[in-house]
Amino acid sequence: MSRYYGLSDYLKLRYGRKLVKLSIDGGFTCPNRDGTLSSKGCVFCSLEGSGDFAGEISCGVKKENQDIQTQIDSQKALLSAKWTNVGFIAYFQSYTNTYKPIQELEAIYKSALACEGIEGLAIATRPDCIDASHIELFKTIDVLWVELGLQSIHDEKNEWLNRHYTLEDVEKSTIMLQKAGIPVVLHLIAGLPGETFEDFMASMDFITRIKPFGVKIHMLHIVKNTALSQRYQETPFELLDEATYIRWVCEGIGRLDPEIVIHRMTGDGKRAEVIAPTWTFNKRHVLNGIQKYLAEKDIVQGCYIKN
């Protein structure tokens, strides 16, 4: 028995086979980096724009021979020995992937969709970088979902993150996309400084209320060469240990609407770049711990929701 609705379950039901995400860097930047809102970026954002495993295009400048076709072909070649008879999702991950003129966006997205085996796009962006023109574009191409960074429902936490948008911005964009029939995935970070269990549960309750297509849950990572790493080194703050993280995630699953697809329950960064917490490196151990906790406490997704 599956105790939660995972992404692999959803994709197999919809497509009848496994789909694999290919992380693509489309050469974007971000209004929180280019000086429009700030030049510092969100405190947790890496030099790769939180697209550490995306293709080798960075800071908005394409490197030689690393166009989107090349990125997709190289990743497919690496994965061919691991899986056969799979489809692919082009995942625009790095920086803000709607932060270009609409004509340029259309060309970038269509170049990915034209690659063999690509079933559709997943697009990560900021809620303040979506308007009616983006909605119209999304409706004409194969956008499987759009990802937005919720992180927390508590705006004082989000000010500390230096992200320069509010919970209201997230809610407005989510509703706008939902009304247009475009699935939304919200990112949620566990373990922000000073965050309590009750704070995190309140964020999970918000997700259930707004009911996006999916959710991604991540531990707060301290990554080298970020504003967060500098703050952490200057004034260390407590991070969640593995057992606490597992408890928070599992208890949150119990409060999550059972129709919401869980895209991720733990995050992993490049080992050479992550300062802490190092227990996240053993992703399988974390996932096994989540399964064990759910079974021991008899938690099934949505079981705490009162009718």
Model confidence over 276-297: pLDDT tens digits? 999 999 999 999 999 999 999 9
pLDDT surpassing 50 at residue 61: no
pLDDT of residue 93: 93
Q: Identify the CA nearest to 178 among candidates 223, 219, 151, 209.
A: 209
pLDDT of residue 239: 96
CATH hierarchy code of domain 7-296: 3.20.20.70
pLDDT of residue 83: 83
Task: Please answer whether residues 235 and 51 qualify as being in contact, where contact means their C-beta atoms are separated by less than 8 angstroms.
Answer: no
> Using one digit for the tens of pLDDT, what is the confidence trace for 237-255?
999 999 999 999 999 999 9
Helix (H) or strand (E) holding 146, with range, is strand 143-151
Point out which residues pair with 118 in neighbouring strands: 88
pLDDT surpassing 70 at residue 158: yes
pLDDT of residue 50: 54
- When pLDDT is cut at 50, 70 and 90, the band that residue 53 belongs to is very low
Helix 242-254 / helix 197-210 crossing angle, nearest 10 deg: 30
pLDDT surpassing 90 at residue 80: no
pLDDT of residue 48: 60
pLDDT surpassing 70 at residue 124: yes
The dihedral through the CA atoms of 53, 58, 60, 64 has a sign that is negative
User: What is the pLDDT averaged over residues 211-232?
Assistant: 94
pLDDT surpassing 90 at residue 66: no
Question: What DSSP state is assigned to residue 235?
Answer: S
pLDDT greater at residue 57 or residue 132: 132
User: What is the pLDDT averaged over residues 83-110?
Assistant: 94
Q: Residue length, the chain?
A: 307
Lowest-confidence segment of 65-69, 144-148, 153-157, 231-235 by average pLDDT:
65-69
Mean pLDDT (the chain, rounded): 91
Domain map of the chain by residue range?
7-296
User: What is the pLDDT averaged over residues 192-220?
Assistant: 97
At residue 151, the 3 state secondary structure works out as strand
pLDDT of residue 54: 45
pLDDT greater at residue 83 or residue 55: 83
pLDDT of residue 37: 94
User: What is the pLDDT averaged over residues 85-95?
Assistant: 93
